[in-house]
């Protein structure tokens, strides 16, 4: 098991380097001059050239990328923001708790609703509950986050005035953005749980347990559910990464001061160090979550653990 964890940790290194290279390349090819965006239209040509020289924007691509990776690896330095001139890491650490809280609330809602609905739909296949659940699952998969978020604000904030339309500092303020962000994940987890449960409860060993006279409750909870949840565990880990990336739109709609909103404002301002640092920070968080899911999967499935003994 220890070898399995070490191998998964080592896999993170090329992944993060690849992410850093892709983001650096895309920003390098993006039209627009960061110096003009930061200094404004009234800046003189000498001031623009001084800014570009100070920030290394006149250096060749490989030189800039090599310097960035050197500072990142050996000094842990993500650079300074062009706009605020404060360290990128400091601003990321200040914004990350809101994004993490939003993602955590959304995945908890998705799991709390998706898994029970999937289990009941599988047990009561083709029933009215199953039909309604699958219809709502299809609707949830089809709804873009930004559209659902605006509909929730219009209904619960503007019309009914039950919940605030922005912020994330109170429990009421967390409800709308968490629901909007979790809608697609609820649908995917529901469908995956239902499909997995249907496959398991039709297996031969379930027929054998049922033939021995076990109650349906024992069959479902003690024999079928653990095996059925194996692919669902993996999906939940992947969905957490999806929620972290989807927070970009959700935070913009609900005015949440998290990484997503910070990335949007940084992209608009051509704040390259902030954008690079934010993307790399999110990629690292998602990679760590996926690593934890892989470890959990190995503990849930004894076959994987046995391969690395």
- Which of 274, 109, 250, 261 shows the shortest CA–CA distance to 180? 250
- Cα gap 178→194, rounded to integer Å: 23
Domain 95-307 has CATH 3.40.640.10: no
Backbone phi, psi, residue 87, to 5°: -60, 140
Q: What is the mean pLDDT of residues 291-296?
A: 76
The answer to whether residue 271 scores a pLDDT higher than 80 is yes
Backbone phi, psi, residue 143, to 5°: -85, 120
Give the model's confidence band at 302: pLDDT under 50 very low, under 70 low, under 90 confident, else very high.
low
145 and 180 Cβ atoms separated by less than 8 Å: yes
Domain assignments of the chain as residue spans, ordered by start: 2-75, 95-307
pLDDT by residue (tens digit) across 38-59?
Answer: 777 777 778 888 888 887 878 8
Share of the chain above pLDDT 70, in %: 94
The answer to whether residue 309 scores a pLDDT higher than 60 is no
User: What confidence score (pLDDT) does residue 128 get?
Assistant: 92
Contacts of 206 (CB under 8 A, 6+ apart): 200, 219, 223, 224
Number of CB atoms found within 10 A of residue 18's CB: 11
């Amino acid at each position: 098991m220890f070898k399995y964890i070490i191998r998964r940790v080592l896999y993170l290194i090329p992944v993060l380097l690849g992410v850093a290279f892709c983001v650096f390349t895309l920003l390098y090819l993006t039209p627009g001059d960061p110096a003009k965006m930061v200094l404004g239209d009234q800046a003189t040509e000498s001031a623009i050239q001084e800014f570009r020289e100070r920030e290394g924007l006149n250096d060749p691509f490989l030189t800039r990328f090599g310097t960035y990776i050197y500072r990142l690896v050996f000094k842990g330095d993500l650079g300074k923001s062009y706009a605020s001139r404060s360290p990128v890491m400091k601003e990321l650490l200040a914004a990350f708790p809101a994004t993490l809280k939003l993602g955590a609330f959304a995945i908890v809602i998705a799991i709390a609703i998706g898994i029970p609905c999937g289990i009941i739909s599988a047990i009561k296949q083709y029933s009215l509950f199953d039909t309604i659940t699958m219809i709502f699952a299809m609707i949830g998969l089809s709804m873009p986050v930004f559209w659902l978020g605006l509909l929730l604000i219009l209904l619960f904030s503007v019309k009914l005035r039950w919940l605030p339309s922005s912020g994330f500092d109170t429990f009421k303020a967390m409800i709308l953005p968490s629901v909007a962000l979790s809608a697609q994940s609820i649908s995917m987890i529901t469908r995956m749980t239902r499909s997995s449960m249907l496959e398991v409860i039709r297996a031969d060993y379930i027929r054998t347990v049922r033939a021995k006279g076990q109650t349906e409750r024992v069959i479902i909870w003690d024999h079928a559910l653990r095996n059925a949840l194996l692919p669902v565990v993996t999906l939940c880990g992947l969905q957490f990464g999806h929620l972290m990336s989807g927070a970009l739109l959700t935070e913009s709609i609900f005015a949440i001061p998290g990484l997503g909103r910070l990335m949007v404002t940084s992209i608009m301002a051509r704040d390259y160090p902030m954008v690079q640092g934010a993307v790399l920070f999110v990629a690292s968080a998602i990679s760590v979550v996926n690593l934890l899911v892989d470890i959990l999967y190995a503990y849930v499935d004894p076959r994987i653990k046995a391969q690395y003994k």
